[in-house]
Structure 1
Amino acid sequence: MRATRRNRPATAVLAAAAASALLLAGCSSSGSPAPSDTGTPGASASASGAAAKAAPLQPLPEQTPAALAPYYAQKLDWKSCDGEFECAQFKVPLDYDRPAGGDITLAAVRKRASGGAQRLGSLLLNPGGPGGSAVDYLEAVAHGYDPKVRAAYDLVGLDPRGVGRSAPVSCLSGERMDAYTAVDITPDDQAETDALIAADKEFAEACKTKSGDVLGHVSTVEAARDMDVLRALVGDDKLHYLGKSYGTYLGATYAGLFPGRVGRMVLDGAMDPSLDARAGNRTQAGGFETAWAAFAKDCAKREDCPLGRTEKEIGDRLTALFQQIDAKPLPTGSGRKLTEAQATTGVIQAMYAEFLWPQLRTALTDAVAGDGTTLLALSDEYYERGEDGSYPNLMAANMAVNCLDLPAPFTGPEEARAAEADFAAASPHFGRDMAWMALSCTYWPDRPTGLPHTVRAVGAAPIVVVGTTRDPATPYAWAQSLAGQLETGRLLTYDGDGHTAYGRRNTCVDGAVNRYLLGGEAPAEGTRCAK
C-alpha cells in the first residue's frame, strides 16, 4: 500500500454501499463501550494520552479580514453539468496569510433540494482521502441519500484544493505509478531499502516539478478556510456538513477554526487530530488487523475459504502467501506481475466493506493457485487505476496533504526499521508494511505546516461523531477521542464491520443521523447501533 494515512473509502465502494441493502438494523443505548470496541489493544489509552498532551486548535477571529472580503463577495454562476447537476467555480487565495499573492480556482457541484419551501440550506459533503473528489462522490451517490434529506438540502460537493478539479497537484505518469505501486515496501536488504527510498524521492520530486507553489498550500487548515468561503457564497449563515473518513478531519478543523459557524455537522469514520503521524499509522495498522480478524472469522465458516478452517491457520497462510509473492511475483491476465506490495494493498482494499469479502476469497483462491489477476484488480481499485492505465490525482493529493499536515514520523530508513516491531505488535499482518509506508513524507519537498492538536470547538452547535467498532481505516478509538475532545461532541456507535457507517442501509445509524440533519436532534449519549 503506497500511501500515508490513507483513510478514504474508494468512491466505487461508497457508491455500491449506498445502493445496496447490506446491513440489518438494531439500536440501543449504553453508557460505555465493550472491551472489544477499541480494536487495537491500548488504542483508547493511547488516544486519550495524545489528546491530553496536544494543544487545542485556536479559532480564527469572527470578523472576516478586509483582505479576504473580495473572496467572500463573489457571485457563484451555477451552470447545468453532468446531467442533473449544476457546477460552479470560485476563487480563493493561494496563501491566506498573503491574500494579495495570487489565487486558485476551486470546483463545486450541487444537486438542488427537491423540497422547495422545506429547504434548510446546503449540505456540504466530503468522502475523505485526503485526495477523494467530492464532485465525483456526489455525482455517484446523490440518489443514495434519504429522500427527506435530498428534499431539505442542496447537496454540494467541493473538491478541496489540490484535488480533482480544484487546482489539482500532479506527480507521476500512469506508467510510473504502476512501478511505484509495485515497489517492495517491506525491504529485506539494503538494495530493496535503496529502491524504496528512490521511489519515494522520485514521487516527491515529480510532485514539486509538476505542481509548483500549489504543493505547499494544500493543507487541511487551508481547505477548511475554503469551505467557509463557499458557505458564504451559497448564502448560508452556518455550515451544514457531512464528512466521511478524512472528511471528518476536515470538518473538525472547520469546527475548530469557525465554531460559531457550525450548523449540523456529522463526522463519520472519525480521525483523531491529536495523534502524530507515527501513532496514527500504527493505530491504523491495528484497525486493519481488527478488520482482517473479522474477515478471517467469517472465512473460516465458508466452504470457499482458500486459507484454512481456523482463524490462526488463515492468518498464518496469508503471511506465507505474502512471503511467496515477495520471492516470486505472480503472473496476471494483464501482463503485469502482482508484487507483495500490491497483494497487501488488494487485501487491505477488501477490508473497507463486507461486500468485498467474497471477491477477496476468490482473489486469495486464485493467488494460492498461482494467478494474481483478481488480487491485482483489488489493488487497482484501491488506487482507482483506470482500464487505460491512468490514475486520478488521488495519491498525489493524498501525499501532499498528509505531508503538510503533520511532520514526517521518521527521519530515515533506520528509524522505520527500528519501528517494525512496534508496528507488528499492533498488526502482525500489515504492521511492517505500514511502518515503511510512513517513510514517504521523509523526502517531501515542502515543510509541514501543521502539528498534532485537539479540537474543542467551544460554542459550536452539537456535532455528531460516528464510529464503527471494527472500522479498518479509522479505528473506533479515534471516534471516541474526537467526540471527547469536542465540547459539543456526541458519539454514535455502530457495532459492525467496514469503513464508515452512514448511508449503508442500517436503519439505526441512518435514522439517527437523518433525524439530526432534518430536525437538529442529536443522538442520545451512548447510542449504539448493531448489525
Structure 2
Amino acid sequence: MSALAAAVAAALLLTGCVSWFMPTRPSATSTPTGEDVPAELAPYYHQVLRWTGCGTGLQCAAATAPLDWADPAGDTIELALIRQPATGGKARGSLLVDPGGPGGSGVDFIRDSIDFATSETLQREFHVVGFDPRGVGASTPVQCTADDAELDDFIYGIVAGERGSDAWITAAEERNRQFGLGCLEHTGPLLEHVDTISAARDLDLLRAVLGDEKLSYIGYSYGTYLGARYAELYPDRAGRLVLDGAVDPSTTEFDVSLTQARGFEGALTAYLEDCLEREECPFGGTVEAARTRIAELLRQLDARPLAGRDGRRLGASTMFSAIILPLYNRGNWVYLDELFQETFDGGSDTAFFLADVYNDREAGGTYSSNGTESFIAINCLDYPSDGDRDTMRAQAAQLAEEAPVFGPWMAYGGAQCPQWPFASTVERGPISAPGSPDILVIGTTNDPATPYVWAQALASQLERGHLVTHRGEGHTAYGDSECVTEIADAYLVDGVVPAADPMC
C-alpha cells in the first residue's frame, strides 16, 4: 500500500503530538472567502466551519460537500478536519496537508505526527490543517465488511491453488467480487464517488471555507496526485503546492506495479548491502544469495503458510507486507533483521506485527482506520484495470523477470478492480496544469514506493514544475532532509523557488 507512505513508515519511530502555547485565541468559526460561485454550490462554498477543541492545542471541524459534484443538489457527505492554529499568533492562512495512501487520514497525521508533517517554521506561520478525503477515516467513510473478523479474512486470508492458475484466478476474482459487493452494501452511493477528481473538488471547497484565496498545500505520496489534479482543475486558485514523493499521473495500473516492484527490489538490495556488514545480520555470503533466500522463503510461505498465535496463517502476501513496511524508512531496517531471523526459524510474531502496523490492525484484532477499504475503493476508480488472463500472465512474467523477489507478489492486480461494482472512467495521462504558479516536486533517488522517475516525470509534465532531488533512501524527503525542508519552507513562506535542482 503505500503507501500512507511517510506516515505509515514513521509509525514505528514517531509518536509526534506536541503541546504548544497559543499566544492568541483563534476564532471558533471560519470566515469563508465568499467568492462568487454557481448558486447550487453557494451553500457549500459559503458554509461556516465551527471549530471545537479536540486535543491540546488542536481544533476539529466538519465541512459538508456534495456526494456527487455533478449533482450538488443531491445527497451530501461530511469531510473531517483538524487544525493546529499558527503558533506565531498571526497566520498567513491555512496550510492543508495530505499524508498519502490513498486512504491515509490527514486528521490522524496531524493529531499524531504534526512535527513529522511540518516544521516549526510552517507551524509558526500557518494554521496547519489535516483533512480526511472523502471515503476516508472520520469523513463519510467507505466500509466494506460487517465486522473486523470479516476484514481480517479478506486481508490475511490465503487464496487456495497455484498462483496464476485458472482455478486460483477464479477464486481471487470471486473473493474480490464479494468484497466489492460488501463495500457497496455498507457504503452505498458514495462508493462510486471516491475518485481523486472528486477529492480535488473537495479540496477547493475546503480552501474557500477556510478563507484562503489561494491553496497552500503539502501532499505526500498519493497526496501529490491529489495536488496535481487540483492544479489541473483550479490553476488560478493554486497557491504554493509542495508535492513530495511524487506519483506520475500518466502511469497505468501495471506501470505502477512494475515501477514499485523495481523500487522495493532496489531498497531491499540497499538493506542487504548494509546488513551484510553487520555481525547481527541474519544473512551470510553475498547480496544475491540473500535475495535468493528471501525469494525462496516467500515461495515456501505461499505453499505452506506458518501458523500464527491467534489462528491466522502467515502466507506470502502477508509476509510481503511485513517486508516492505520497514523498507519505506532506513531507520526501520533493524526490524528486518528480526523479521527474517524469526521467520527462517519458523516464527511468525514479527511478521504479523509489521503487517498489522501496515494494515492499521490493533493487537486485539480491531482496525484503527478504514485504510485498506478506502485504498482499494479509490484506486479502482482512479486506474482502469485489465482482467484478461493472458495479459495478466504476461505481466506476471515481466514482473518476475525484472523484480524476482517482489514481482511475483505484485502480479495479477487485474483480478481485483474489474470485479469492482464501478468501473474507472479516468483516462491516465500527463498533467501540465497550464496557468498554475510554480509547483515544487520532490523526489528521493532510492524511494521504493514512489520511485524517483515519477518525480522526474511529474516535474517535467507540469508547466511550472520544479524538481527538488533528495539523494538518499526512503519514502519522501521533507523533514528527513534538512536541505529539502529548508527549500520547501522558503517556498511556502516566501515563494522562493530554487533556480535549479539543488540535488540535496
Question: TM-score higher than 0.5 here?
Answer: yes
In structure 2, what is the equivalent of residue 528 of structure 1?
A: 503
User: Hey, what's the Cα distance between the residues in 2 that align with 1:492 and 1:339?
Assistant: 39
Asked if the contact 2:329–2:475 (Cα under 8 Å) also holds between the matched residues in 1, the reply is yes
SS at match of 1:395: helix
User: Hey, what's the Cα distance between the residues in 1 that align with 2:94 and 2:82?
Assistant: 11
User: Hey, what's the Cα distance between the residues in 2 that align with 1:489 and 1:209?
Assistant: 42
Q: Is 1:340 the equivalent of 2:316?
A: yes
User: Hey, what's the Cα distance between the residues in 2 that align with 1:300 and 1:344?
Assistant: 21
Q: How far is 1:429 from its partner? A: 1.1
User: Hey, what's the Cα distance between the residues in 1 that align with 2:394 and 2:372?
Assistant: 26
Indicate how the Cα distance of structure 1 residues 257 and 18 shifts in structure 2: closer, same or farther if over 3 A, else same.
farther
Asked if the contact 1:325–1:338 (Cα under 8 Å) also holds between the matched residues in 2, the reply is yes
User: Hey, what's the Cα distance between the residues in 2 that align with 1:123 and 1:438?
Assistant: 37
SS at match of 1:495: strand
TM-score by length of 1: 0.87
In structure 1, what is the equivalent of residue 342 of structure 2?
A: 366
Indicate how the Cα distance of structure 1 residues 524 and 438 shifts in structure 2: closer, same or farther if over 3 A, else same.
farther
Offset from partner CA, 1:386-415 (integer Å, 9 cap, x none) = 11212221011111111111211x224443
Q: How far is 1:353 from its partner? A: 0.8
Offset from partner CA, 1:457-496 (integer Å, 9 cap, x none) = 1121211000011111101000000000111111001111
Q: How far is 1:177 from its partner? A: 2.3
Indicate how the Cα distance of structure 1 residues 190 and 184 shifts in structure 2: closer, same or farther if over 3 A, else same.
farther
SS at match of 1:293: helix
Matches within 5 A, 1:235-384: 235-384=211-360
Q: How far is 1:67 from its partner? A: 1.6
Q: How far is 1:309 from its partner? A: 2.8
Asked if the contact 1:88–1:108 (Cα under 8 Å) also holds between the matched residues in 2, the reply is yes
In structure 2, what is the equivalent of residue 104 of structure 1?
A: 77
What number of residue pairs does the alignment pair up? 481
SS at match of 1:528: coil
Indicate how the Cα distance of structure 1 residues 150 and 15 shifts in structure 2: closer, same or farther if over 3 A, else same.
farther
Indicate how the Cα distance of structure 1 residues 353 and 462 shifts in structure 2: closer, same or farther if over 3 A, else same.
same
Asked if the contact 1:183–1:195 (Cα under 8 Å) also holds between the matched residues in 2, the reply is no
Could you tell me which runs of 5 or more consecutive residues in structure 1 were left unpaired when the two chains were aligned: 21-61
User: Hey, what's the Cα distance between the residues in 2 that align with 1:433 and 1:321?
Assistant: 12
SS at match of 1:491: strand
Matches within 5 A, 1:70-109: 70-109=43-82
Asked if the contact 1:367–1:375 (Cα under 8 Å) also holds between the matched residues in 2, the reply is yes
Asked if the contact 1:7–1:129 (Cα under 8 Å) also holds between the matched residues in 2, the reply is yes
2:363 equivalent among 371, 374, 387: 387
User: Hey, what's the Cα distance between the residues in 2 that align with 1:269 and 1:188?
Assistant: 32
2:200 aligned partner, one-letter code: A
2:396 equivalent among 398, 420, 434: 420
2:4 equivalent among 1, 8, 14: 8
Q: Is 1:507 the equivalent of 2:447?
A: no
Mean alpha-carbon deviation: is it higher for 142-151 or for 216-225? 142-151
In structure 1, what is the equivalent of residue 457 of structure 2?
A: 481
Asked if the contact 1:74–1:233 (Cα under 8 Å) also holds between the matched residues in 2, the reply is yes
Asked if the contact 1:183–1:341 (Cα under 8 Å) also holds between the matched residues in 2, the reply is no
Mean alpha-carbon deviation: is it higher for 165-174 or for 212-221? 165-174
1:406 equivalent among 366, 383, 392: 383
Asked if the contact 2:169–2:415 (Cα under 8 Å) also holds between the matched residues in 1, the reply is no
Offset from partner CA, 1:330-367 (integer Å, 9 cap, x none) = 23343422111111111111211112211111110001
Q: Is 1:492 the equivalent of 2:468?
A: yes
Asked if the contact 1:13–1:353 (Cα under 8 Å) also holds between the matched residues in 2, the reply is yes
1:348 aligned partner, one-letter code: I
Higher relative contact order (CA 8 A, sep 6+): 1
User: Hey, what's the Cα distance between the residues in 2 that align with 1:232 and 1:372?
Assistant: 49
User: Hey, what's the Cα distance between the residues in 1 that align with 2:278 and 2:41?
Assistant: 60
SS at match of 2:450: coil
Indicate how the Cα distance of structure 1 residues 188 and 71 shifts in structure 2: closer, same or farther if over 3 A, else same.
closer
Asked if the contact 1:281–1:438 (Cα under 8 Å) also holds between the matched residues in 2, the reply is no
SS at match of 1:469: strand
TM-score by length of 2: 0.91
Offset from partner CA, 1:230-272 (integer Å, 9 cap, x none) = 1011111000000000000001100110011111110000000
Indicate how the Cα distance of structure 1 residues 337 and 15 shifts in structure 2: closer, same or farther if over 3 A, else same.
closer
Q: How far is 1:431 from its partner? A: 1.2
Offset from partner CA, 1:291-322 (integer Å, 9 cap, x none) = 11111211221222223231101101001111
* Aligned-CA RMSD value: 1.9
Q: How far is 1:82 from its partner? A: 2.7
SS at match of 1:377: helix
In structure 2, what is the equivalent of residue 154 of structure 1?
A: 127
Could you tell me which runs of 5 or more consecutive residues in structure 2 were left unpaired when the two chains were aligned: 17-34
1:64 aligned partner, one-letter code: V
Asked if the contact 1:78–1:86 (Cα under 8 Å) also holds between the matched residues in 2, the reply is yes
Mean alpha-carbon deviation: is it higher for 182-191 or for 413-422? 182-191
Q: Is 1:130 the equivalent of 2:102?
A: yes
User: Hey, what's the Cα distance between the residues in 1 that align with 2:15 and 2:187?
Assistant: 36
SS at match of 1:100: coil
Matches within 5 A, 1:116-265: 116-117=89-90, 119-144=91-116, 145-172=118-145, 173-184=147-158, 187=163, 189-265=165-241
User: Hey, what's the Cα distance between the residues in 2 that align with 1:342 and 1:9?
Assistant: 17
Q: How far is 1:131 from its partner? A: 0.3
